[in-house]
A = this chain, B = another copy of it.
Amino acid sequence: MMKFERKDLLGIEDLSRKEIEFILHTARTLNEVSNRAVKKLPTLRGKTVINLFFESSTRTRTSFEIAGKRLSADVINISKSGSSIEKGENLLDTAKNLEAMGPDIIVCRHSSAGVPWVLAKNLKASVINAGDGAHEHPTQALLDIMTVQDAKGKTDGLNISIVGDIAHSRVARSNIYGFLKMGAKVTVVAPYTMMPHGIEKMGVRVSHQLQEGVRDADVIMMLRIQQERLGLAPFSTLREYSQLYGLNLSVLKNCKKDVVIMHPGPVNRGVEIDAQVADGPYSVILTQVTNGVSVRMALLYLLAGGK
């Protein structure tokens, strides 16, 4: 049996395919727990998990909290508001002070890229990156790979199209790393202003036209449009974006018959994706959420020394 040797889970970029497969194998084993009448394992009893969220998030925080509690860990939530950060304390001090209270794992979300690496380097506790700026969101990519495997039975050779604001999306980055490692081919689809320069060097195909970019896709992953960033785009309105890059039934008509539709949520219905598509038979959006709990249980379990 493989053993998980890492102290931290920071990004997909530096994970091996073998490690990804091991995490997902563990997640599938734990998945069963969430379907029992008694959704509880004693595995992390007496372990302390701190959810340190400098950016607000219902779903990711809740997913980690549920994951930790189902494994019997003590889970402590700390969010930006109401924390000493308001008093001007620096980030590393906050973290070192928390560490002095003896947590086993710190789950960190922050608006600046790289913060989880700084914490990991300076703390004895394990650190899980729950999203750092526009950089990485590794647990999202892991749950997405798991969901594709559930739907398609494999990842090798699949065409994955990721559509939306690629330039500002940590979900896109982590998924590009992840799916390429897992043997898939990745196409990124976005208007010029939402496409990072030189992204081809990551090994992806680039498209600026939705229909062309998703025609051969086995999986279409739509990204959330963050309205506050639209001012920077060549689109003056959400409606204009939606007409060119929104996934609707008429675009879907020209796609593969068994294409799978994903979205990391929260969904803007009628903007990047139509309600009929988001709620339609090809959508696995809610399965992604369910798998998120299992992936996070797996990581908490593995980082806390489980075998």
Contacts and interface: CB of A to CB of B under 8 A. Distances in A.
Contacts of A93: 265-267, 269
Contact of A266 (B46, B82, B84, B227): B84
Contacts of A160: none
Interface stretch (A2-10, A96-104, A192-200): A96-104
Interface in A19-48: 34-40, 45-48
A265 B45 CA distance: 30
Contacts of A37: 46
B58 A85 contact: yes
Interface stretch (A66-74, A207-215, A243-251): A66-74
Interface in A66-93: 66, 69-70, 74, 76, 78-79, 81-90, 93
Interface residues of A, number: 58
Contact of A286 (B39, B76, B96, B267): B96
Interface string A104-135: 00000000000000000000000000000000
Contacts of A290: 100-102
Given A102-B39, A102-B293, A265-B93, A79 B82 contact: yes
Interface string A250-294: 000000000000000111110000000000000000110110110
A39 B287 CA distance: 34
A101 B46 contact: no
B70 A74 contact: yes
Given A88-B266, A97-B265, A101-B293, 14 more contacts: A37-B46, A39-B47, A46-B70, A58-B83, A58-B94, A66-B102, A66-B103, A84-B266, A88-B227, A89-B265, A89-B267, A93-B269, A100-B286, A100-B289
Query: Which 3 residue pairs across A and B have the least CB separation, nearest first?
Result: A38-B46, A100-B289, A40-B46
